Homo-oligomer: A and B are copies of this chain.
Amino acid sequence: MTTQLPKGFRLATINAGFRQTVRPDICLAVSDFPAVTAAVFTQAAFVAAPVIVAREQVRNGRPMRAVLINTGQANACTGEEGIANCRETLRWTANACGLQATEILPASTGVIGAQMKMDLWEKAIPKLAPKLGSASVKEFADAMRTTDAFPKFSGAAIATENGTITLAGMAKGAGMICPDMATMLCVVLCDALVPLDVWQRMFREAVNVTFNRVTVDGDTSTNDTVYGLANGASGVTPEGHDLSLLRAALEKILGELAYMLVRDGEGATKVLRIAVTGAADDADAEKVARTVGHSQLVKTAMYGKDANWGRIVAAVGRSGASFQAKDVRVSLCGVELFRDEQPVAIDFDALLEEPLQGRDIAIDISLGSGGGSYTLLASDLTHAYVDCNAAYRS
């Protein structure tokens, strides 16, 4: 995994004091050239001010020059004042960096319902701009963290006949948990020269099969945002096989970051890979995967290292997907536990004792009714999850 910064981008981070920790809480990525931009936002009905502003910025497919991220204050449920504050931070950043405010994308994470500390912003930005070029991909990812246990970043380099294309992805998120870590944010920077429609399509497809297929606790946030900027600085226009490689690299990076989100899910000790096949269609497969992946009983059983096929089967049974009960087969860590409506007559507790100690747990469900499939990554449900989330906010 390369952690090289793609050409034509500069990064900077600074501690503005939003969170009273020693870690930076603002990070800025600037492209030296206008970058074709893809953006995917939370589907929630209540969205944060930066999401409202960013949706407007990207509406007409305008190229973007920068991404400005802060932790410590989500700027969500803050009304008109919050939107005005968000725009103000973009103006300050534009002035400091010689950009237009409308070509900077904001993203925030932190406590919901409080206005941002604008005095701290005003002091920090003039100090942040001169630092551009000083931060690495890892340092940028580190500054995005809130309660994340580790920084999340990944990268890829694609050697073509015309030169090398580089990608870097940075993300934060550990479940939509307390209001002060309300968000999944991700930025992918790329120096390929790609048309807007091609980049947006491959980006959305990659998000769909990665970030949209993970769940920590089924909750989504007011601020969830994934940005992708391709600035063309490599001078390489990928076509044919190279374009496929770029698509694959993007999916790989987003997939790795999504896996890290689940692995770092609040209190998580396991990553459950729930693969449903043989469904009537993909939508049915998704229903089954999500019902299993959201089942508190399945999630606690996996935490307890319990080969509890009954809970998996019960979740499949109430998913609402269409299948014949007699055709359903369930495997755990590669051991078939259930078929013909009955548990398989083997000592699977003994067989699975070792595999269930591991971090990665495969749950394979075959419905035997068609060609639909879906795979979901889910975390387990643990004492530490309850610890974190039942603790009072203050």
A contacts, CB < 8 Å to B: 43-47, 76-79, 112-113, 176-177, 179, 182, 217-222, 294-297, 300-301, 303-306, 308-311, 313-319, 323, 325, 328, 338, 340-343, 349, 381-383, 385-387, 389-394
Cα separation A313 to B45 with both chains bound (whole Å): 9
**Chain B residues whose CB sits within 8 angstroms of the CB of A383 once the complex forms:** 383, 386-387, 390
- Shortest 4 CB-CB distances between A and B: which pairs? A304-B390, A300-B389, A44-B317, A45-B317
A318 contact set on B, CB distance < 8 A:
43-45, 219-220
Q: Which residue of B lies closest to A295 (CB)?
A: B219
Given A179-B308, A300-B386, A386-B386: A294 and B46 within 8 A (CB)?
A: no
Give the nearest-CB partner of A390 in chain B. Answer: B304
* Contact (Cβ within 8 A) A219 B296: yes
Please determine whether A77 and B310 come into contact, CB atoms closer than 8 angstroms: yes
| Chain B residue, CB-CB nearest to A45 | B317
Provided the pairs A112-B310, A182-B310, A313-B77 are in contact, do residues A217 and B296 lie with their beta carbons within 8 angstroms?
yes
| Interchain CB contact under 8 A, A297 and B389 | yes
Q: Are A314 and B391 in contact (CB under 8 A)?
A: no
Instruction: Tell me, rounded to whole Å, the shortest Cβ–Cβ distance linking A383 to chain B.
Output: 5
- Nearest CB of chain B from residue A79's CB, rounded to whole Å: 5
Subset of 8 A-B contacts with CB under 8 Å: A46-B314, A46-B317, A79-B341, A113-B343, A294-B294, A296-B389, A306-B392, A349-B394
Across the interface, do B382 and A314 meet the contact criterion of CB distance under 8 Å? no
CA distance in complex: A381, B45 (Å):
25
A381: nearest residue on chain B (CB-CB)?
B386
CB distance from A394 to the nearest CB of B (A): 8
Residue of B nearest to A309 (CB): B113
- Name which residue of chain B comes closest to A111, CB basis: B310
Please name all residues of chain B whose beta carbon is closer than 8 Å to the beta carbon of A309 when the two chains form the complex.
113
Residues of B within 8 A of A393 (CB): 306, 308
Chain B min CB distance to A120 (Å)? 21
Q: How many copies does the complex hold?
A: 2
Q: Is the CB of B343 within 8 A of A300?
A: no
CB distance from A267 to the nearest CB of B (A): 9
Residue of B nearest to A324 (CB): B45
**Contacts A45-B318, A220-B314 supplied; 11 other A-B pairs, CB < 8 Å:** A44-B318, A45-B323, A46-B328, A113-B309, A113-B342, A177-B297, A217-B295, A222-B317, A304-B391, A305-B392, A308-B393
Q: Are A46 and B313 in contact (CB under 8 A)?
A: yes
User: Which of chain B's residues has its CB closest to A267's CB?
Assistant: B386
List of B residues within 8 angstroms of A45 by Cβ: 316-319, 323, 325
Asked whether B217 lies within 8 Å of A297 as measured between CB atoms, the reply is yes
Residue of B79, B218, B338 near A294 (CB, 8 A) is B218
Q: Which residues from B are CB-within-8-Å of A304?
A: 389-392
How far apart sit A44 and B313, CA to CA, in the bound complex (Å)? Answer: 10
Q: Which residues of B contact A313 (CB under 8 A)?
A: 46, 77
Say which residue of B46, B308, B319, B391 sits within 8 Å of A316 (CB atoms). B46
> Which residues on the B side are within 8 Å of A219 (C-beta)?
295-297, 311, 314-315, 318
Which chain B residues lie closer than 8 Å to A389 at the CB level?
A: 296-297, 300-301, 304
**B342:A78 contact, CB within 8 angstroms:** yes
